[in-house]
Structure 1
């Protein structure tokens, strides 16, 4: 039994439900339900993983085997599920598919001509090719996208889904999408890109394990954050944020998780402290064996970074991780000294020992990092001044970084003073690793080198330069790149440096701000601020260098006066015009004489509303409305017997908006403009027999048929067909001619004739 006239074969990576929608559109139906009804489907059968492909095959005249690769269920009598042959397991409790709430990338579908099966995954929250979020709802009717619509790009309300702007997503999310889509398509080679994700470990996971990991880790990450737990976007984005900047973000997640646990009795071991995370993640799930990389990093975190407890030796055995935190008695045994000696060292600040109350008993956790063995600490030792010179940093900055813990001491024994060369080199590598190597010519004049910041920028604080480097290491300040291998070549945006230095200067001057900052708040010039200080409208404040103004006096002034210069800039007019309006209405103004420039004028805050009202009434009449402009444009087209500019059968909104001298967004926001254009387009289509929204292949056939009918030769460039002119005549992009072998064959056949 075959009921459909047009039955194209499915594409290799096509979504099964997307294939049904494409079939419906090709056969001219306004919803796929007509096809499903013919095939004997129940209401809910289409949007379930148990979609019966044999029913669909019966109305296509195709075998079930042709549709089996697209099926979501393994067709061997088992209860297993799959996606393009990739196993999804025997249960969908972890909700890997989102069949009832479709979402997709219009740009990808426009390029491919079909909906990829990748978009059937709940974890597919962004486009791996274009880097933006997926289309989930119509911008015109605001309703969610549904499978029961007229076509791939047409909403139930009639809107073209290709015109919806989509916001970009974080690079790490795009990289995760590239990994997932490669697994869905069965690629055997790791995607080639530089990433801060643990790409090698993630690539070893099966598709099912990777989806399970994202779902589980994402739910842990958003717990207690008032985020929508039912949102796949929230869950996947949260999981990727934990895996990004690997393994530092994972360590941060574990610390937050530890702090969120509420227990009446403290627990000494890592296993007991993180039981609510460890057992569900690594013990009670089928995918636990695949999460070895995560478990190893969890144990490494507890042994070397955590510091709130100890790791049972049985967990560490077989791993390369060396235990940094241990009990006081075990550390004394390891070093070969008495426990009382460790207590003495702790009182002298040479080591750290933390006390923990466990079940009414006090236990001690000791940090073994300062007690490195002699074999580790061989090398060159430098005093503080020599070490600072070695790095190219001020002594005060190095001292601050060591005290704050950003400079990590791993090779200095507790009994020695100074700095070890190996630690200094590690610190150099840490600084350089956070800045990518780039060509000098790719940087503009808006950047400053670390060497310049350390030598020329004044922070008015002993800790300022060290705090700046600490903020860079913590990710609070980013670097656009470095031009060499040394830390002195690390570059920073000038705006970031100025903002950070201004903060420290304000602290050093007890909250006072610079003249430039005061001028920005008031809306005047720096010279005007000086004159306001001279007239005692503002209060100056002593500072290590330069003249500064107290923030309190600035806020009092702007609470009482408004600067005409700032108002003129805000309303895109002139100070002279505002002053004229004030004079005509007898509004009180404050006039301050300025040195070497014209006076500055300020109006009392109580008169601002009146002045803005006067300015509004003083303006010329508004221009012609967008609807009126569109109406005149359409009337002129009909009068001159000229057709609307179209693209693939639909009105070209961009070209029409440009001709009417307004933004294309008018057609999305103004119902009158939408209705007027739609009615005109329908009438024109009936008058001239224009086929709306035709496929590219149909547009090409119609174009070639018109050439034959009119006797017009095929456009050529030399001896070859001119693809650009042909594509323009068909109303689509030239790329489609190169990507479609069928259209190339049509052109070649026509050219030969």
Structure 2
């Protein structure tokens, strides 16, 4: 007959002790120890043992403890809460409460269980997920049948027959092991993140807050985290917390940056960081958690887009080390105006943060590092009217320089919502002192002309001024030695000869049309001859819309050169005069003094071979 049946047959009042009384292990779970006693005496569960020893005049738990006859040292080896149905007062260490422990279930380390087959009290803490001795994760379910183990039926084997000490456990990462070492506060094997030492109850409070922060579905909830009875849920929470506390405070600052990027664009810390702000300064107000607030203050002062000031009464520095300033303060320090600072930001020249409140009011903040940039921009810039006077050029010419990209304005009428211009002074200076290569300088001065004089009297075509500036910077036009060195760009003296040569070359390559005078220069003719050719219809010219000027296209110049040749050109080949050439050939000129009364003879180029062949068999015609 079983021992339990023998006990049940009698009365518990006559039972003075238990036949088998196992001794407690070091830091053994109270609940697990009592279950082990019940199993050793054949009851199968603690509840059956309690029913067998129940009396009317004494508490059952007192009877059990008296029957075990435990010494004081043995009682001190037991840790953790009593079973929930015991009326004994729980004497828990480190400020923990019954809610911090598992209820009805147990976790275990297979290797520890193989060495000593009893449950450790620390395994019952909900946030305990590793064994620090073997650096592995705990297990809470049978690897064979996947059934979670109940503590009332604790045994070294599952009901399916699988040995609980013969299970494979996974290796735990170092970050999780460090956090477990800090939480359990028994092992000093790992350094706990270089953080102040917290009690286990304080660590649990912190882990609950971190779990709610890092889990989106729990972000706005308070209280305990659901599902911690399951080991998988506890592992997720602890792993997230280890990342949160990794390389303190880098991991925390990374988390804050993610929260800020996803949060509302507001100058309110509570709206930006949500419940985190309240938890740091209200829920976790203890002095032991001051390291959290210090790290948060440091992040806000350095990275938050808002302003830290006296209204943020919970912060320590109150803006003393803030990395941002109001737009008014930034303008005052840099010697600018708030409007100008806003315009510089809208133009993309400085960094700033703008927040629009529900009322429509706008708030601005500027990084302290941008204040120096604002000062430099304001000190080294010039408005449009002053720029024209500085260069000694008409304002229209300054607009040409801007349109051509020679000058890049910081602000303009269509940039940054500005109604005024802001031009970089160094780009204006670069026109006078070219940075590419120095232009050739002619000395002593001869036939000089200033750039302003050329612009006013030379009637430069569209695009010629910009080409002139670039040619001057490239050293293609000769300059005259001048003093002083700060001569305005418009008063810079150039060689007339060099300027004319460059201008003729440029016109030949770039102009689509030109005046009759310019066409005569390109053809190497006198102006009157060019006008005669136009009147004779040999050189086509179109009338401008104004009706006062005629223009000749580049294509027409090319066509004329390919169709006609001057008698003077052919006569030079024959070493004779134009009249001598006319007398020696039977070919009739298309125009000339004896043909239509014009000043110069011209032949068709197609007849030139016949003319030359009559004079000499070896003369070749020059290429077009």
Superposition TM-score tier, normalisation by shorter sequence = 0.3 to 0.5
Normalised by the length of structure 2, the TM-score is 0.48
Q: Which has the larger radius of gyration?
A: 2
Normalised by the length of structure 1, the TM-score is 0.40
Higher relative contact order, structure no. (Cα contacts within 8 Å, ≥ 6 residues apart) = 2
